[in-house]
Amino acid sequence: MNRFLIFLIFSAFFFWSGCAPEQKEAQFADLILHNGNFYTLDSLQPRVEAVAIRDGRILLVGSAEEAMGLRGDSTELIDLQGQFAMPGFIEGHGHFSGLGYSLIRLNFLEAQSWDEIVQMVTEAAEKAEPGTWILGRGWHQEKWTEPLERSVLGYPYHYDLSEVSPDNPVMLRHASGHSLFANEKAMELAGVTVETPSPSGGEIVRDSRGQAIGVFEERAMNLITNAYDEYAAGLSEEAKAKEWYQAIELAEEECLRNGITSFQDAGSKFFELSRYEEMAEKGELDLRLWAMVRHSYDRMKDSLDGYPKIDVGNHYFTCRAIKSEVDGALGAFGAWLLRAYNDKKGFTGQNTTPIPEVKNIAQLAMDHGMQMCVHAIGDRANRVVLNIYEEQFNANSDKGDLRWRIEHAQHLDTADIPRFRKLGVIASMQGIHCTSDAPFVEKRLGEQRSRLGAYPWRSLLDNGVIIANGTDAPVEDVDPLACFYASVTRKRADSGFEFFPEQRMTREEAIYSYTLGNAYAGFEDHFKGSLHTGKVADIVVLSHDLLNCTDEEILEAQVLKTIVDGKVKYEL
Ligand SMILES: [Zn+2]
């Protein structure tokens, strides 16, 4: 029977039954948020005072009077006392389990010096059983305020770390995720000696005598991570799973505390995707996940049956995208550039995944009706990815709206900026990366490349390109408000250092990028990203009006309530 026929029969039945009382009851709201200052992202009624919710969906957006008309005996009322509310933040590119693990492990995002990091490792080593690995992440040599006694390319030597942790291997990931620091014990287990060559696509950083100083860039990180994986493989499956679920719980709490109601995960393995799917089906996820699958082409090519997975467990889990990557990060000289770095003569960065592999993965995405999301930071990386996409689109012109994305899209040649719009490619960028990297971008790229092509939001937006926004957590704190501040000011919150402010977003554009823009970038704008009748009731309540407060007040703003699917999941 077709749907229209079913509709006709049901309509006739209800008409005949004369609008039974239980049918009226069904129109009442579960929850009415009133006396609010809502910014809806709906151009027809951008500002309203009330939202009525039923079964996790928005029943009505409008005046208090209209909303109260939906009040029944069991309707809960929340008086927002004039507070600002808007669609919940959607994190547009982060690493969900990575965020969780970062909350378990040592976190150096706030570390101001190498000594501080050595101190934290000293304390961890005192508590650790001999032989267990000490893990941490988030260090960044450009953020340290105290000069190093001895250094190579701005990095310290491993000696301090090796001294305070002689029996425990130490592996500390760089904030960018594109290099790591190892102590002597870790290098010994990895079999790294003076003779060990740097693998292709990576570098073992050495001093003038050829000694490895402890830093491993890009693909060279595998030497150390393989040694860790060998150790981890010896742990019981139970112990590993327990830690994973603990990490996920911590990530969920951290997101809700930050007003995040949906999270776009930039690359998970099949076993993680299965766990998320199961959690969604059981109603165990506290926020909505949208994930990219990330494996090698060989691992994926025969394993994508059943993908994409869309709207599992009442719209709590979706995996409809594939992640790949072509280069590294600017801080670690991994961004792949058209012309050499200003501060590493003759060097143009790293191509981290062979292009034929990326092309194969793009073909896989096209064949399975999935979005392709490629990490590209340098201008050459971005051009290469746009070329791969263009080739695919030309060969599949019948497929229409594909919404393929470039993750980061940080440094662009001006000639490539209009191509994003022309090809319908989404620039999935991170506002906060701009101000984090600001102190060293010009050093790496020089004035002109920085001014015209580094985080060129204004140029992209003026060209009609959709920008998705996020933090790349745990590379950065998952805080959307700090990212919003960076997006609308391009100013560092600590020093006030401003990075080419002419490229900043307006307040409206930045909110869009964090809500409807991200929803669009995941094919989810039809049911989330704005406050509109029928859409999911995912809402954040804030202490300040993000459209009208001063720049400084953005930094003071607090998340007061996070509502997912019509339920208050976090309250300050
Ligand atoms: Zn990432």
pLDDT band at 26 (very low <50, low <70, confident <90, very high): low
Alpha carbons 108 and 336: distance in angstroms, whole number: 26
Within this chain, domains 3-82 and 97-233 share the same CATH topology: no
Residue 331 Cα to ligand 1 midpoint, Å, equals 14
Residue 246 Cα to ligand 1 midpoint, Å, equals 21
Pick the CATH number of 97-233 from 3.40.309.10, 3.90.1010.10, 3.10.310.70, 3.30.1380.10: 3.10.310.70
pLDDT of res. 22: 46
- Record the pTM: 0.83
Strand ranges (E), 228-378: 260-268, 288-293, 309-311, 317-325, 371-376
Q: Dig out the tokens for 260 from the structure.
A: 């995040």
Asked which of 175-179, 260-264, 443-447, 563-567 is least confident by mean pLDDT, the reply is 175-179
Question: Nearest CA to 36 among 85, 88, 89?
Answer: 85
Question: Nearest CA to 217 among 327, 89, 143?
Answer: 327
- Whole-number Cα distances in Å, 499 to 305, 439, 441: 46, 9, 9
Residue 554 Cα to ligand 1 midpoint, Å, equals 25
Alpha carbons 474 and 285: distance in angstroms, whole number: 19
pLDDT in tens, 488-506: 999 999 999 999 999 999 9
Q: What average pLDDT does the segment 142-166 reach?
A: 93
pLDDT in tens, 76-89: 999 999 999 999 99
**The dihedral formed by the CA atoms of 152, 156, 160 and 161, expressed in degrees to the nearest 10:** -110
Q: Which residue has the tokens 């010096």?
A: 113
- Judged against a pLDDT cut of 80, whether residue 23 lies above it is answered with no
Pick the CATH number of 3-82 from 2.30.40.10, 3.40.50.720, 3.60.15.10, 3.90.580.10: 2.30.40.10
- Whole-number Cα distances in Å, 169 to 111, 165, 228, 235: 21, 7, 9, 16
pLDDT in tens, 406-423: 999 999 999 999 999 999
Question: Nearest CA to 244 among 204, 267, 275, 270?
Answer: 275
Q: What average pLDDT does the segment 231-247 reach?
A: 90
Query: Cα angle vertex 127, ends 125, 133, to 5°?
Result: 50
- Judged against a pLDDT cut of 50, whether residue 14 lies above it is answered with no
Could you tell me the residue ranges of all domains in the chain? 3-82, 97-233
pLDDT in tens, 41-97: 999 999 999 999 999 999 999 999 999 999 999 999 999 999 999 999 999 999 999
pLDDT of res. 110: 87
Alpha carbons 135 and 127: distance in angstroms, whole number: 13
Residue 207 bridge partners (DSSP)? none
Residue 93 Cα to ligand 1 midpoint, Å, equals 6
Q: Which residues surround ligand 1, an ion (CB under 5 A)?
A: 266, 472
Q: What average pLDDT does the segment 137-145 reach?
A: 91
Residue 57 bridge partners (DSSP)? 54, 536
Residue 94 Cα to ligand 1 midpoint, Å, equals 6
- Whole-number Cα distances in Å, 526 to 42, 479, 517, 523, 567: 12, 25, 12, 8, 21
> CB–CB of 380/349 below 8 Å?
yes
